[in-house]
């Protein structure tokens, strides 16, 4: 795919899931200072860009274009299936979350609209309809470059949502005395008259950890890290660095704008899904933003699903390959197009079925947990461990301030975040269940 398509896909991939929770992240635990929060987003963006680029570099140097291939070549062929299973579980959880999210979103839009026939109004009917079209045909596309048009749609939706959040923050319609202030529930109104002043620039509070966890998950596209590189036109590590740099920088701007202005509007009342704070029906700009966000997620969905397809078929192949009796079937998973299509259809059906039964709030804790456990593994630990092995192969010695030192630090940081993130998610989950 051309460089521009790679950047577009990456922005759609990141922003679809990353842009809505960041205002909740800065608001958590009494709030984090504006510059502290912006620095956190910047640091996590840089780390993510570095680890994504290093996955491309590892693929270039080893000639392996799957995680199991990289792990098998650099670390150990016997445990390569573990990596694919971890990525499969992570992307499976994210797809369920995406499905539950668009189910909630489009069913509330369907119920409010007069043109949708009555049999299509229940949430399960909306989900099944979206599953058949547009999700299934998009999810069956062979490669990511075919998604450039949906990614353009995704980008337009993302930009609209950011514009709406900034406008509604500046025009004061949700501030005390504003047009929509009385119309929204008390729990959605900003408890602070001036949220920005209340946190100042450099405040670090107990909620700063929550923001870090969200930043870690927001910049997660590593499940496609190798694939983006493999499909890049005239691929060199330099070109790939431009693609990742462009995509991450653009996403960083989106996250900072959503975070600062979402927080400016609703203060510490900002919800994990920011759009829930706005007026349900009276605000026309928000109605469009809800639809746009639904579209952004539908556009980001096949990118996530593509990673699920790859990692789950690789995992099945690796596991079946371990036993003589099933080796032939394992090989078919990599070569037989019909089997792979059937597998993809089956996966999508299972995901939609689970999402029909669960709302997005039920799923949020599980995804938070997957993000904390596997996200830090995907963002920090796995790329850093691969890098360290690669440097050893290349015979690089490194002091504390070399790239080797940086990767050792990333491994430690990954485990620290795994612990902190899991703890904070479990704490939030128990709070939800006590309400």
Indicate which CATH number applies to the domain containing 316. 1.10.4160.10
User: Which residues form the domain of 258?
Assistant: 3-357
- Asked if residues 97 and 363 have their Cβ atoms less than 8 Å apart, the reply is yes
Answer yes or no: is 416 within a domain.
no
Answer yes or no: is 143 within a domain.
yes
Its sign, for the CA torsion 413, 415, 416, 419, is positive
**What is the widest separation between alpha-carbon atoms in the chain?**
72
Instruction: Determine the pLDDT at residue 38.
Output: 98
Instruction: Determine the pLDDT at residue 217.
Output: 85
Closest CA relative to residue 310, chosen from 152, 134, 60, 84? 84
- Asked if residues 315 and 88 have their Cβ atoms less than 8 Å apart, the reply is yes
CA dist., res. 256 & res. 34, Å (int) = 10
Instruction: Determine the pLDDT at residue 375.
Output: 83
Answer yes or no: is 381 within a domain.
no
The tally of domains found in the chain comes to: 1
Answer yes or no: is 204 within a domain.
yes
Place of tokens 């703890």: 423
Answer yes or no: is 31 within a domain.
yes
Its sign, for the CA torsion 409, 402, 43, 62, is negative
Closest CA relative to residue 52, chosen from 290, 224, 265? 224
Instruction: Determine the pLDDT at residue 327.
Output: 86
The token duo for 128 is 């099944």
Answer yes or no: is 82 within a domain.
yes
Place of tokens 């709406």: 164
70 Cβ contact partners less than 8 Å away, ≥ 6 residues apart: 55, 58, 59, 62, 64, 226, 386
CA dist., res. 274 & res. 324, Å (int) = 52
The token duo for 155 is 């980008």
Answer yes or no: is 432 within a domain.
no
The token duo for 368 is 């938070």
Instruction: Determine the pLDDT at residue 111.
Output: 84
> What 8-state DSSP symbol labels residue 173?
T
Instruction: Determine the pLDDT at residue 435.
Output: 59
The three-state secondary structure class of 252 is: helix
CA dist., res. 46 & res. 56, Å (int) = 16
Q: Is 267 left (phi over 0), alpha (psi -120 to 50) or beta?
A: left
What is the mean pLDDT of each successive set of 10 residues along the chain, which is 435 residues long? 94 92 92 97 96 96 94 92 92 91 88 86 94 95 88 95 97 95 94 95 91 89 94 95 98 98 96 90 92 93 94 92 84 90 96 89 75 86 95 81 91 92 81 66
CA dist., res. 235 & res. 210, Å (int) = 37
The token duo for 216 is 């870690």
Answer yes or no: is 110 within a domain.
yes
CA dist., res. 187 & res. 276, Å (int) = 11
- Residue 279, φ and ψ in degrees, nearest 5: -60, 135
167 Cβ contact partners less than 8 Å away, ≥ 6 residues apart: 285
């Amino acid at each position: 795919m051309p460089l521009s398509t790679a950047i577009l896909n990456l922005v759609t991939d990141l922003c679809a899931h990353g842009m809505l929770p960041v205002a909740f992240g800065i608001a958590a635990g009494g709030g984090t200072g504006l510059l502290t929060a912006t620095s956190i987003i910047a640091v996590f963006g840089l780390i993510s860009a570095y680890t994504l680029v290093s996955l491309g570099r590892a693929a270039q140097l080893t000639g392996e274009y799957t995680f199991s291939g990289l792990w098998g070549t650099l670390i150990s062929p016997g445990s390569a299936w573990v990596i694919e299973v971890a990525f499969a579980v992570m992307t499976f959880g994210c797809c369920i979350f995406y499905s539950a999210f668009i189910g909630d979103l489009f069913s509330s839009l369907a119920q409010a609209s007069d043109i949708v026939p009555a049999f299509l109004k229940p949430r399960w009917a909306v989900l099944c309809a979206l599953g058949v079209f547009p999700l299934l045909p998009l999810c069956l596309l062979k490669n990511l470059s075919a998604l450039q048009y949906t990614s353009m749609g995704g980008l337009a939706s993302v930009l609209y949502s950011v514009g709406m959040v900034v406008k509604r923050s500046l025009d004061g319609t949700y501030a005390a005395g504003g047009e929509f202030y009385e119309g929204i529930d008390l729990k959605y109104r900003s408890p602070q008259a001036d949220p920005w002043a209340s946190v100042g620039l450099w405040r670090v509070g107990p909620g700063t950890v929550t923001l870090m966890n969200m930043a870690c998950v927001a910049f997660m596209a590593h499940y496609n890290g190798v694939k983006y590189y493999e499909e890049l036109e005239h691929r060199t590590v330099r070109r790939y660095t431009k693609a990742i740099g462009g995509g991450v920088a653009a996403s960083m701007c989106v996250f900072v704008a959503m975070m600062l202005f979402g927080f400016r509007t609703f203060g510490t009342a900002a919800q994990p899904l920011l759009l829930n704070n706005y007026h349900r029906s009276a605000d026309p700009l928000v109605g469009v933003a809800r639809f746009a966000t639904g579209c952004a997620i539908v556009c980001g969905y096949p990118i996530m699903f593509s990673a699920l397809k790859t990692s789950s078929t690789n995992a099945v192949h690796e596991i079946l390959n371990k036993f003589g009796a099933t080796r032939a079937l394992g090989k078919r998973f990599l070569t037989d197009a019909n089997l792979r299509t059937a597998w993809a259809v089956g996966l999508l059906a299972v995901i939609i079925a689970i999402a029909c039964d669960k709302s997005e709030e039920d799923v949020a804790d599980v995804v938070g947990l997957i993000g904390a456990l596997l996200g830090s593994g995907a963002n920090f630990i796995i790329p850093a461990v691969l890098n360290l092995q690669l440097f050893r192969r290349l015979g690089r010695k490194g002091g504390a301030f070399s790239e080797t030192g940086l990767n050792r630090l990333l491994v430690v940081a990954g485990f620290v975040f795994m612990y902190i993130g899991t703890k904070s998610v479990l704490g939030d989950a128990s709070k939800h269940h006590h309400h």
